[in-house]
Amino acid sequence: MSKTIKKIGVLTSGGDSPGMNAAIRAVVRTCAYHHIECIGIYRGYQGMIEGDFKEMGPRSVNNIVNKGGTILKSARSKEFMTPEGRKKAHQNLITAGIDGLVVIGGDGSFTGAEVFNSEYGFPVMGIPGTIDNDIYGTSFTLGYDTALNTVIEVIDKIRDTASSHNRLFFVEVMGRDAGHIALNAGIGAGAEEILIPEENLGLERLLDSLKKSKASGKSSSIVVIAEGDKIGKNVFELKDYVEANLPEYDVRVSVLGHMQRGGSPSCFDRVLASRLGVKAVESLLEGKSNYMVGLSGDKINLTPLEHAIKNHTEIDRELLRVSEIMST
Ligand code: ATP
């Protein structure tokens, strides 16, 4: 390892996700392991612009591997989207002697890192942290596995009440552009139908499926709906539509919302965060820059930030088929 880099800054940006703390811990401790300094940058790019920095050593990250959220706080910074904002941020990094940056966040945060790198040639490395699992170049983003477990735990509870009252429940989960949470949690929780942004099931098919479900003897049903589904109605309009067309159904709506982002990270997310943090720091020390660290198969890999930003993840179509078979 060349170790031309002497001081690494780490920040969390965009929406928070479980596992971000474990990633911060991994970055800080990998720096300590290689005898280089580490600076925590508070409130994402906004803190970089305002010089909100704090030195971090291995003991500053005690007891956070199990904590949701991010101890460094996260923010969305409009100012960083301007050249003036980025100039201030660069000045602050130089003044603090920071010569490498690890950005933990989603594709917006990576776009910011890439722009910053292209303007100033500043070494940057991205760690994918978002519950949506919608980042190209990694089969798992930090927080996704935890969010899935949170969602199925809640749906299991909803099912208890749904089956006690012979009700149909529409459960809305996060996923404006990607249906990974809806599809996987839907299968895991035994949903009868799953509506996702990538696939327009159509209102008629939904009604048909619910009719079949009733005819086959099911007394209660769960439909999992991603917030960005393409069916053309929001979840409350959909409830009205189904009740108008299938009066035998008593529909209830449950919007899970921000609880999906919280909670203690799963073991999978903690281990992934640790592996990604080590790889991010060691890649910077090897002189690499402008990459995102991610998981491919069971190996940690590097994807150019540019590719991670421009490409999109695809839904696994085999899962759609599995879901259909499971709802027989
Ligand atoms: P999430 O997946 O939770 O939305 P994200 O990282 O995609 O996370 P964004 O709000 O899109 O979240 O981006 C986070 C921050 O990254 C923005 O507030 C802004 O400061 C910075 N950023 C995003 N796009 C750009 C850009 N084109 N140029 C400079 N900075 C940007």
pLDDT score for 161:
86
Give the distance (Å) from ligand 1 centre to CA of residue 224: 28
Q: Which CATH architecture has domain 145-261?
A: 3-Layer(aba) Sandwich (3.40)
Q: Which residues pair with 223 in a beta bridge?
A: 170, 193
Running along the chain, 328 residues long, what does each successive block of 10 average in pLDDT?
84 96 98 98 98 97 97 96 98 98 97 98 97 95 97 94 85 90 95 88 85 80 88 89 90 94 97 98 97 97 97 89 88
Whether 85 is in the pocket of ligand 1, judged by its Cβ within 6 Å, is: no
pLDDT score for 217:
79
**Ligand 1 atom with the shortest distance to the CA of 75:** 18
Residue nearest to atom 6 of ligand 1 (CA): 106
Spatial contact of 75 and 36, defined as CB atoms under 8 Å apart: no
pLDDT score for 1:
57
DSSP-derived letter for residue 258 is G
Residue nearest to atom 17 of ligand 1 (CA): 76
Give the distance (Å) from ligand 1 centre to CA of residue 76: 6
pLDDT score for 313:
87
Residue in this structure with the two tokens 């209830």, named with its chain if needed: 252
Whether 92 is in the pocket of ligand 1, judged by its Cβ within 6 Å, is: no
pLDDT score for 2:
52
Whether residue 160 lies in the annotated active site: no
Domains of the chain by residue range: 7-143+265-310, 145-261
CATH class for the region spanning 7-143+265-310? alpha beta
Spatial contact of 138 and 292, defined as CB atoms under 8 Å apart: yes
Cβ neighbours of residue 43 under 8 Å, at least 6 residues apart? 50, 52, 72, 73, 74, 75, 77
Mutate to test the pocket of ligand 1, among 12, 74, 111 (most ligand atoms within 8 A of CB): 111
Give the distance (Å) from ligand 1 centre to CA of residue 309: 11
Fold match flag (7-143+265-310 vs 145-261): yes
Beta-strand pair 7-12/100-105: parallel
- pTM for this entry: 0.95
pLDDT digits (tens, 9 = 90+) for 284-326: 999 999 999 999 999 999 999 999 999 988 888 899 999 989 8
Spatial contact of 141 and 130, defined as CB atoms under 8 Å apart: yes
